[in-house]
Structure 1
Amino acid sequence: MNFNLKEKPDSIIFCKKEFEINKEQVLQDLNFEISNDMLSFWNTYEHILFDSGISIYGFELAKERNLQYEISNYLPSFVLIGDDGSGQGIFINKADGELKVYYLDLGAIGSIDLYKTGKNFFNWLEDDLKLVDFLVIDDKDDLLFEEADLFVVPKINFIDKKKFVFFARKKLELQDSILNISRGINEKENFKIKTNFIPYKYIENIKELQVKYQCLKLVSKKGEVQISLE
């Protein structure tokens, strides 16, 4: 297969593969019944780095990263094949045969579903390599009237956590106890503190909490748009 990457001398670094890998190796190490096209890709490139920060792993680095993040335990139908340079992992669905590209914050693995680009890996690679952009929240944004989930991400220290839980429970009308909320934040890196709600009603309180504690992430129920509160 020919890979028509939009190569620019100052934006893409190709590291050529020196040693051939085979389907048996990939199946053994990644439990991935790899297609001929994907095998050819990994036998062509050891690593591809774009100046946008996106990194596409070769086979050896993919093995290392999948082991590091325990992908086989948390996301057995997926293979981690890259990252965007700022904490989001890039995955392909190894179970559907179409190599569709998905992405997810690496700190959220196992706690929320992956987001999808809807593109085949090679089409995505040859096209724009874009993941869905973060949107700055706007009081008039239609997304504020769509069902969403609110997560606490692991950016909160022990002292602030007590205050945060107290005020969040009051301002977001949370039904769970302070003890259960605190326990959830302790046990999960991305704890879903409020689910299936319309953000517009609570947006000012969400903003206030975010300004003080910088630990919230609001995710649209559509599953393709994350709304930054920063």
Structure 2
Amino acid sequence: MNKNEILKELDKIESDIGCKFPVLYKKFLSEEVGDSDAYELTKKNGEALYIFNYKDLVERNDTYAIQDSVPDFLLIGQDGDLGCFINLSDDSDKIYSLDLGALGSLDMDEEGKDLYSLRI
């Protein structure tokens, strides 16, 4: 699937869940992740972070009931039990993390200004 087709799919997801994704997040998904089944981003600390493709976003958020616990956030990737999130209500590309078992009970940690800033 090409970049424009992926952007159309992301627009549909935004419409279905009633949100707008950050600009750089959409760019990263359409240009870097594409429709690959697994996309591994190596963070500056050497750890791997798996970024979900557009096909898995809704399913992964439904599986973990993300919007029930933290309605303003979207789970966009994982490193084991550590979830990687974007905030859908602050109009920024900031990336956050939190242990998936602590959703709704602890504040998220800010990891970077966008996905591009996380990688080597």
TM-score normalised per structure 2: 0.73
* Cα drift, residue 25 of structure 1: 1.0
Q: Which residue of 2 aligns with 1:120?
A: 113
* Cα drift, residue 123 of structure 1: 3.7
> Where has structure 1 moved over 2 Å in runs of 4 or more?
17-24, 28-32, 34-44, 50-53, 122-125
Larger Cα Rg: Structure 1 or Structure 2?
Answer: 1
Is 1:56 aligned with 2:51? yes
The 3 A distance-change label for structure 1 pair 87 and 70 is: same
Give me the whole-angstrom Cα distance separating, in 1, the residues matched to 2:65 and 2:14.
Answer: 16
| Structure 1: 5+ residue stretches without partners | 1-16, 129-230
Is 1:75 aligned with 2:102? no
* Cα drift, residue 32 of structure 1: 2.5
Give me the whole-angstrom Cα distance separating, in 2, the residues matched to 1:91 and 1:76.
Answer: 11
Aligned length: 109
**% identical aligned pairs:** 28
Q: Is 2:61–2:74's contact at 8 Å kept on the other side of the alignment?
A: yes
| Structure 2: 5+ residue stretches without partners | none
TM-score normalised per structure 1: 0.42
Alpha-carbon deviations, 1:33-58, whole Å to 9, x = none? 12443333322323411463310111
How much is the aligned-residue C-alpha RMSD, in angstroms? Answer: 2.3
Q: Which residue of 2 aligns with 1:89?
A: 83
